[in-house]
């Protein structure tokens, strides 16, 4: 049961963890199952396409490595944003939230470029098993990055209000950070399995 707190309400569950953070962890656990099923589908159909183009003909590992580096740097920027929020440094928090957003958008730009390039080379959802499983897997990941960018943008915009993000600024940015780091970790798994392991 919620107890009286500073403005009202303390959000602690019987585990001693804030119930909002616990809810985020539960949501991320369900997302692990979701991405696990997509990755499993990709691996099951890996190498079973009867027609090309095939992965070794079309995947551009150097370009995707750059986009992966960009996404990993966004995790560092997110850590700095959380630090600023938790230590009462709103200007630092705003700066690094903005950097995280820009890096996330850059990653999405790379993904749009990759999808368009593959389309021009004849690979789409209906081309073969590789195309279907690849576009669904990476497309859903890109959607998650897009959602993360929107969450961070809403926090950044809210931080410019007179009251900022309120007394729980650190908590709100930390929760967004959990989601962002999860998306980054999922991409590392996808990048390794799809791009780096030989077909």
**Residue range 168-184, pLDDT digits in tens:** 788 889 999 999 999 99
Contact between 97 and 81 (Cβ < 8 Å): yes
For 164: left if phi > 0, alpha if psi spans -120 to 50, otherwise beta; the answer is: left
Contact between 24 and 175 (Cβ < 8 Å): yes
Domain count, the chain: 1
Q: How many CB atoms lie within 10 A of CB 51?
A: 11
Residues with Cβ within 8 Å of 74's Cβ and at least 6 positions away in sequence, in order, are: 99, 100, 103, 104, 107, 180, 184
pLDDT digits (tens, 9 = 90+) for 64-93: 999 999 999 999 999 999 999 999 898 999
Which whole-number Å values give the CA distances from 129 to 40, 41, 75, 133, 189, in the listed order? 13, 10, 32, 6, 20
User: Which is more confidently placed, 161 or 163?
Assistant: 161
- Of 11-20, 37-46, 174-183, the one with minimum mean pLDDT is 11-20
- Residue range of the domain that includes 55: 3-196
- Of 4-18, 28-42, 163-177, the one with minimum mean pLDDT is 4-18
pLDDT of residue 169: 81
pLDDT band at 5 (very low <50, low <70, confident <90, very high): very low
Whichever domain contains 178, its CATH number is 1.20.120.80
Distance CA 27, CA 35 (A): 12
Contact between 108 and 147 (Cβ < 8 Å): no
- pLDDT for residue 2 is more than 50: no
Distance CA 170, CA 80 (A): 11
pTM score, whole prediction? 0.87
> Taking all residues of the chain, what is their mean pLDDT, rounded to a whole number?
88
- Of 18-22, 37-41, 117-121, 175-179, the one with minimum mean pLDDT is 18-22
User: Which is more confidently placed, 125 or 102?
Assistant: 102
- Of 23-27, 93-97, 159-163, 192-196, the one with minimum mean pLDDT is 159-163
């Amino acid at each position: 049961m919620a107890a009286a707190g500073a403005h009202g309400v303390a959000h602690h569950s019987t585990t001693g963890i804030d119930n909002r953070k616990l809810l985020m962890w539960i949501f991320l656990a369900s997302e692990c199952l979701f991405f696990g099923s997509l990755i499993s589908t990709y691996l099951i159909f890996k190498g079973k396409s009867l027609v090309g183009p095939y992965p070794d003909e079309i995947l551009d590992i150097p370009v995707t490595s750059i986009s992966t580096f960009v996404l990993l740097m966004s995790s560092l920027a997110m850590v700095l944003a959380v630090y600023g929020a938790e230590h009462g440094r709103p200007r630092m928090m705003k700066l690094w939230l903005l950097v995280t957003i820009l890096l996330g958008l850059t990653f999405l730009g790379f993904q749009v470029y990759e999808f368009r390039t593959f389309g021009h080379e004849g690979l789409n959802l209906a081309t073969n098993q590789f195309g279907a499983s690849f576009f669904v897997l990476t497309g859903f990941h890109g959607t998650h990055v897009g959602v993360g960018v929107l969450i961070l943008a809403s926090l950044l915009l809210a931080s410019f209000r007179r009251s900022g993000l309120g007394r729980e600024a650190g908590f709100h940015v930390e929760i967004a950070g959990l989601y962002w780091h999860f998306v980054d970790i999922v991409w590392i798994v996808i990048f390794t399995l799809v791009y780096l392991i030989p077909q």
